[in-house]
Structures are given as structure tokens and as C-alpha cells.
Structure 1
Amino acid sequence: MSSSPDSPPNSPPGCPADCPPLPEGYQLYGYRIERMLSRGGFSIAYMASDSAGTPVVVKEYLPIQMARRAAGSQALIVSSASQGKFNHGMRSFLEEARLLARISHPNIVAVLDFSKANNTSYIVMRYEDGRSLEEYLHRLRESGRKIREDLLRNVFVRLLSGLREVHSQKLLHLDLKPANIYLRKDGHPVLLDFGAARWGLGSPDGSLGNIYTRGYAAPEQQGSGEGMGPWTDIYAIGATLYACLDTGQAPQAADLRMNADEVEPAQRRWAKAYSLQLLELIDWCMQIPVRARPQSVYALQKVLNGELLDLVDPAWFRK
């Protein structure tokens, strides 16, 4: 496999030449870097191992728009013009780690350690063996199958239990989607990749813009970020459930829906395939107006556990 033109010969394809990942074998406070798992615009995730050989995941704060590796070193160099924004994002990154480290919940990724090195920060998390919900949906699509409602309910009841605990710590996820929901081999979900650091980067002066995943992000998340709350993650839960029924296809982005809504209500599109209760829940979560959505995760848990959904005004789904 050849490297991309922007990558050095020993870097994975797609890695910028001035921002390669940490090399295999690199020692970081007793953790050995094994290989890069994934790369986003603001961080790199690595497979690593601790001193006992136990696998862990290490997440490195590395916003590629603002930082690069020093020549012959793993330390980051940040321009003076970007230093303030870089530091603000790193503080958010570490605050996310501190908050998550306080949460002990079977459906939230466990933070084991966090530290500073190489002029940046790192979060060490428990390694989970399994696959993402996105991968599972892809396999279903390839085989021409649809996801079963009982499986969907079991996954999301547990997921919402974890998200409720996160919200109780005054933390929002802000990037809920199938790729960030991991399914262990026993089928139990784990919520990954919280978006706090990305929002920290967008907040000082807005010059980088807010980072979000189109199709899953709530409309208030795509503007200034004002007015966000649990209902912001709840929109993403609805969009994720909608995508699950559509075997992984994200619904129309919220900003486009505000001008010309082309999202067919779930209870009309899948009327004969899934229960009305589940479909009503999805449409409820995906309402554009903040106050038209459920205001807490607890309301969703009640429905997915089988309690009846009491719609105050069902007019919104009659399209």
C-alpha cells in the first residue's frame, strides 16, 4: 500500500506529512503505542498497552489546523496566532477527561488516566472488544436485512442509561451517531468519543466554526451553540434511531430541514415494520423546535422500556 503524497513513507495514508501519528513502540507514561486506530480533525486514537500488557486506547489532542510535529520530535508546535484557541480546546479536552473519569457506568467508555506530554494532552481509556453500530448496520445492509426492534430497544435502553448519567454531570455528548456507539461482543453498547473538546475549539471567537456531524446534529448545535442542553443529544438519539431503521443512512441535515424538510416521518415510512410507539418516539426526538422534543433522557427510557408515549400535540407528525 502506497502512502498519499502528503504523508511521509512511514505514516498511514491520509496523515499530513507535518502531523504524523506517534510511532509504534513509543512510550507514553508507561503506555506503549502499538498502532493508530483512527484520526479526526482534532485528535488521534491509538491502540496501546499498559505495563502489564493490557490493551488500552490512547486519545491524543491534535487539531491539525493549528498544530504540527516538531522535526525529529513528537512534541507539537503551535503558531502564536493559534495558541489561545489551541489552549482553550486542550482545557476542554482535559475537562472532558476529568468529568468522564468520575463516571463509572457500564455503557460509558471508562477513562483510566489522562496527562500532558509533547506540548499536548492524552486520555487513556479502556479498550472494548467488539464493533461499532455503524459497522453492524453496514453488515445488515450488505445482507439485505433490517435491524430488529427488540435489539434496537435493548441497545438504546442501556445507552440512554449511560447518557443520563453523563447529563447528570453537566456534560453533553454532542456527537451521537452510529459510529460512536460501540457494541461489545455481548451486544451491550458503550458510548464513545465525546464532543466537548471540539466545542471548546469552536467557542472563543467562532473562527473555526462548530464541529458536528451533519444529519445527526441538532439545529441549535449548527449555529452559535446557544440554547444547547440534553435535548440537543436527544435530537441526535432520534436521528441515530432513524438511521438504524434506514440501515445506516443519516437523515437530512437539520439546517436543510429548517428550509425544506424532506425527512419522511418514521411512523409513516416504517408503519408496517416497527411498532407505532417506537416510530412516534423517533419523530418526537427529531423535532426542529427545541421545546417540541423530549427535554430529558428519562422520558425516552420510559418509552423504550414499554411505557406508553403521551403526545401533547401530535400535529407535528401529520405531514
Structure 2
Amino acid sequence: MAVIGSIIDGKYEILKLIGQGGMSKVYLAMDQRLNKQWAVKEIEKKAKDRNNEVIIQSAIAEANMIKRLDHPSLPRIVDIIDNGDVIFVIMDYIEGEPLSKILDEYGAQPQDLVIEWAKQLCEVLEYLHTCNPPIIYRDMKPANIMLRPDGNLKLIDFGIAREYKEQNLADTVSLGTKGYAAPEQFGGKGQTDPRTDVYCLGVTLYHLVTGQNPCEPPYELYPIRQWNPQLSGGLERIIQKCTQLNPEDRYQSCAELLYALQHYEEVDDLYREKQKAKLRNVSLVAGAALLSLFVGITGQAMQTRTNNADYDRSLQMAEKSAEYADKVQFYSQAIDIKPEEKKAYMGLLHTFKNDAAYTVEEEEQFKKKINPHLVEIRQSPDYADLAFEIGKTYWYYYDYGKTKQNDNQLTRMQSAVQWFQDAVKYGSAKKDYYKIAAIYSNIGMFNRDITLHVEEASDKGKYKPYWNDMRKLIQLINETPDESEIVKLELYKLAAHSIEAYARKLKLDGISESDIRSVAASIQKSTSDMTATTEKTEAIRNEILQRFDTTEKAIDHAFKSSQGGSE
């Protein structure tokens, strides 16, 4: 077992144990060279397990398999270290929590949200199934699906995934989680193929939308409307087809399942009955509709008036309250009344970051409010504005993993990227923040991916676009008169760090010495001229100024060849 505080391969410091399963232990580690957090999976070669050799080979196969995959819903492997008695697999650390934990805390999830998750999972499974050779995941369940802070999913744990071999008639030896696993995963019942993952996904959707764990009594997948009559008959039919015992009776691919999910309302019993009724009773329905419309409009207007009044009252109470707890309570009430409106979310974010820190507890509170409504919020024309503000909150204020010894700037950037991408995806180019959001996204993705590019020696040409984005962002932020001091200082710190870390790489990508020195001088002057108003910003300001000699030396070292001969 790895010791907390020990250093692996001279660079990965073990911080804490974050997971443990039958095959391995997983630790959170800090890359001391890059100041970046990774997940480290540890597999002991001499564990007291008669199947240990199978476990070791499975873990190595898993690592090598993931290493060649490239999909936003899959983790990346960056290193495999064999220390003799132990194998360490270095991979992306995925922030968030498994859907199993969300089920334990909140029970059944909203139908619309589950369907959106199902679509994401179909897409990643279809990607795996269309690899060459195809990859069968075989262990779909809520515990293996991570919900990230941005609302998107990551599929983890490829310990029992396998490459599909057409000539294998029977390949499975009881691998999978009972309750979720398909019949063919339990020895002698044929080869696992894409339809196996369709089954596992169907059971997972059953658990998510009903809250009923298939691993617990009654150990039977009843129609989902038996648990909740308000659920869609169309979704019920889809889950029932996914979970047929005979693979021939299921959807034959995840692409086919995805299409069904996109049109689930069209196979709903109620939907079909309504369509038939419309054909039989056109005139009657039309007359009734007019009457219903009048009554409905009147009732809805009254209800809308009440909701608007309650919403506005909650916002006013939040804005007038001096106490932090009261503000959080009233903004939360407003969100519950009108969860598709952005104003209460914005107020809640402002309250959370008012002390220049967005804590893990505050993030948890915010996620509880926004995650169940993400599908409907994304339909709002104001969603891009909200996504941009959430991205900035993570980028500048998120304090997860921050210590006196280690800044968590990379963690903050990684957590913010998807929100900035949403601001661009759902926003308009006419918005003032549109260009800034795109630049934030690019800078975040660079810092997220550059380690892997360096490991694979594919980083050439990546630094110039990054530098140009950094320059643009500094210019845009400096031209914003009311931008907060912490935003400016954090940006200056990132730029200075980038010069220190990548000065030589910038030179090789064609960035001139004068260009780099110009930006460095601008950072130094802007930082010196700024008057910090809080202890936190004063500390950042001092850190930048104290490290400026290091920044200058990095430039000198990178360009020494042009001053005194060849390198």
C-alpha cells in the first residue's frame, strides 16, 4: 500500500486514498513538477489472491486500452510505472461524485435528467463499440459513472472491458456486477458484445429513474411506472427492451438505443392515445381546446402572477439580507420557485464568492440546485450568461485542493473549462463575454492536456496558440475597467507561471524574446501599480512580484543561445 506523503517515480506525491475496490486502490497525487493533480491506481503483484495474475494482467490491459482512446467522457492514462512489487497507473483525476452517491443521497433522479445522461452514455458506448477492434465495457452501473461539476459524465473503471473478437463463441467467466450484468456475462451463455452494454445501461437507467437498486430485494426489474406512475410509458418500453434476457430481443446497438431515447415520447402509451383521439374527434377536441385554453390561460395567469411575486419577494429578501446564511436561504427559495431563471443562481454565486473563496461545501449546495434542472436551464436564452459566471467562479475562486504549499490553479481551470465551452456553445457572438469565454476555454484545455502532449512528444506547435490566447485575455481583462482585482492578479500569476514553465517552448514555437519580455514587463508594472484591498489579493500580488526574478531568469535561459552562440 502506498504511504501518504511518499513520492512515486520521483514526481508523484501521494496525498490521500480516494477509492478502493477488489482490484486496486486509487490515490490522489500531486505532480511536483507540473503542480497538477492525478489519480494513481495501485495494483500489488503479490496480493493474497489466487486470481492475482488475472488482476494484474487486467489492470495493465485496461491501462493500455484507455491510453489509445480519445473521448471527452473517458479518462486519460498518462503513465504506467512498474516498481517490481507494485504497478502504478497514472490517470486523470476526475472531480465530481459517482451517480451511486447521488442515488444514495437523493434517491430517484428527474426523468428528463436521466434521459440526458442516457444519451451521453449511449454516445460514449457507441464510440467504444466502433473502435477497431470494438471495446465492450461490460460494467455499466451508477458507481462507475462520475458526474462532474459541469454536469457532464465520465465513465470510469475499465477493469473488465474487453476487445470484441468475432471468432470467440464464449468468452465470459462471471465478470460484471450482479444485478446490472447481462445473462451472457455469467459463463457459458455466449460471447459479450455491444448488446451486453445495452442491457447494463438499461438496468442503470432503471435504477436512476426509480431509485430501486437491482442488487437489493425484490431483485426483479418491474415496469418503472409500477414504482412511479408519472414516468413516461415510452421510457418504460425502452428500458424493458434494453433488459431482455435474449440479446436478439434488445436494441442491437447503442446508436439504435440513442435514437429511441431521442424519440421516447413517440412510443408513450399516452402519446399514442392522444394521437388517435385527435384523429377521431377533431371538431370536439378543437371546441374543447378553446374552452380549456380560456380556463387554462386564466388559471395559469393567476398562478404565474403568484410565482412571480414569490420569486421577486425571495430575491428582494436575499438582496436586503446582511447575513450569509439568510442570503443563501432566500436565493435557494427563489431557485426552487423558478429554476429556469438565471438571476437567483447568479445571486447565489455572488454570495458564495463574496469572501473570495468558492468552497467545496458551497459547490455542493450549488450543484444540488442546478443539476436537477440543467436540461431545462440550457433551453433558456440566458443560460450562456450563467454558464460564463459559473466558469469564472471555478476559475478564480474554487478552493478544492488548495493548500499553503500547493496552489490549485490547474484544478480550478479544469473545473471551469466545460462551463466556458457551454457559454460559447449556447451563447451569441454578439455577447460581450463571448470572445473571453472562448479564450478561457482554450487556455483551460491547453493546461489540461499539455502534460499528455509532452509525455507523447506531440506538444510542438501547441504553445504559440496558447501564448496568443494569453495575450488576448490580458488585453481584454485590462480593458475592462470594473474587473475585480483578484481576476486580474490571478491572470497575471498564470501568465508569469506560463513564461517560467514554457519560455523555451515558446521560443521553439516562434515567439520572439521581445514579445515575451514585453508581456512580462506589462505584468510586472500592472501588478506593481495595483493596490490590493484584501489579504488574499495582497498575498497574490506579493507572490507575483517576489517571483519576478525567476520569470526573468527563465526568459534569459531560453534565449541564451541567441545571445552567446548555439545551444
Global fold match (TM > 0.5) = yes
Separation (CA, whole Å) in 1 of partners of 2:57 and 2:17: 23
Structure 1 counterpart of 2:185: 221
Structure 2 counterpart of 1:193: 157
Q: Which structure is higher in strand share?
A: 1
The answer as to 2:11 corresponding to 1:25 is no
Shift of residue 269, structure 1, vs aligned partner:
4.4
Aligned partners of 2:160 and 2:175 also within 8 Å: no
Shift of residue 33, structure 1, vs aligned partner:
1.2
Specify whether residues 309 and 295 from structure 1 end up closer, same or farther in structure 2 by C-alpha distance, changes over 3 A only: farther
Separation (CA, whole Å) in 1 of partners of 2:115 and 2:83: 42
Q: 2:64 aligns with which of 98, 101, 125?
A: 98
Separation (CA, whole Å) in 2 of partners of 1:94 and 1:251: 29
Specify whether residues 119 and 61 from structure 1 end up closer, same or farther in structure 2 by C-alpha distance, changes over 3 A only: same
Separation (CA, whole Å) in 2 of partners of 1:172 and 1:120: 27
Separation (CA, whole Å) in 2 of partners of 1:198 and 1:57: 22
Separation (CA, whole Å) in 2 of partners of 1:248 and 1:23: 38
Structure 2 counterpart of 1:265: 223
By relative contact order (CA 8 Å, sep 6+), the higher-ranking structure is 1
TM-score, normalising length from structure 2? 0.42
Shift of residue 218, structure 1, vs aligned partner:
0.8
Separation (CA, whole Å) in 1 of partners of 2:190 and 2:87: 27
Separation (CA, whole Å) in 2 of partners of 1:210 and 1:264: 24
Unmatched 5+ stretches in structure 2: 164-172, 269-567
Alpha-carbon RMSD across the aligned residues, in angstroms, is 2.7
What SS is found at the alignment partner of 1:196?
coil
What SS is found at the alignment partner of 1:121?
strand
Specify whether residues 24 and 225 from structure 1 end up closer, same or farther in structure 2 by C-alpha distance, changes over 3 A only: farther
Structure 1 counterpart of 2:210: 246
Q: Deviations over 1:131-151 (max 9, x none)?
A: 11111112213xxxx411211
Separation (CA, whole Å) in 2 of partners of 1:36 and 1:118: 21
Aligned partners of 2:111 and 2:209 also within 8 Å: no
Separation (CA, whole Å) in 1 of partners of 2:14 and 2:190: 38
Q: 1:162 aligns with which of 97, 121, 124?
A: 124
Separation (CA, whole Å) in 1 of partners of 2:103 and 2:136: 25
Percent identical pairs in the alignment equals: 30
Q: Residues 294-313 of structure 1 correspond to what in structure 2 (within 5 A)?
A: 294-306=251-263
Structure 1 counterpart of 2:235: 278
The answer as to 2:84 corresponding to 1:118 is yes
Q: Quick one: which amino acid aligns to residue 149 of structure 1?
A: Q
TM-score, normalising length from structure 1? 0.71
Separation (CA, whole Å) in 2 of partners of 1:168 and 1:283: 25
Structure 2 counterpart of 1:39: 20
What SS is found at the alignment partner of 1:220?
helix
Aligned partners of 1:198 and 1:211 also within 8 Å: no
Aligned partners of 1:42 and 1:198 also within 8 Å: no
Q: Quick one: which amino acid aligns to residue 182 of structure 1?
A: M
Q: Quick one: which amino acid aligns to residue 102 of structure 2?
A: Y
Shift of residue 157, structure 1, vs aligned partner:
0.9
Unmatched 5+ stretches in structure 1: 1-20, 69-77, 200-208, 311-319
Separation (CA, whole Å) in 2 of partners of 1:229 and 1:110: 24
Aligned partners of 1:267 and 1:283 also within 8 Å: no
After the TM superposition, which parts of structure 1 deviate over 3 Å for at least 4 consecutive aligned residues? 85-89, 267-270, 307-310
- Give the total of aligned pairs: 254
Separation (CA, whole Å) in 1 of partners of 2:183 and 2:209: 22
Shift of residue 224, structure 1, vs aligned partner:
4.0
What SS is found at the alignment partner of 2:185?
helix
Shift of residue 294, structure 1, vs aligned partner:
1.4
Structure with larger Rg = 2
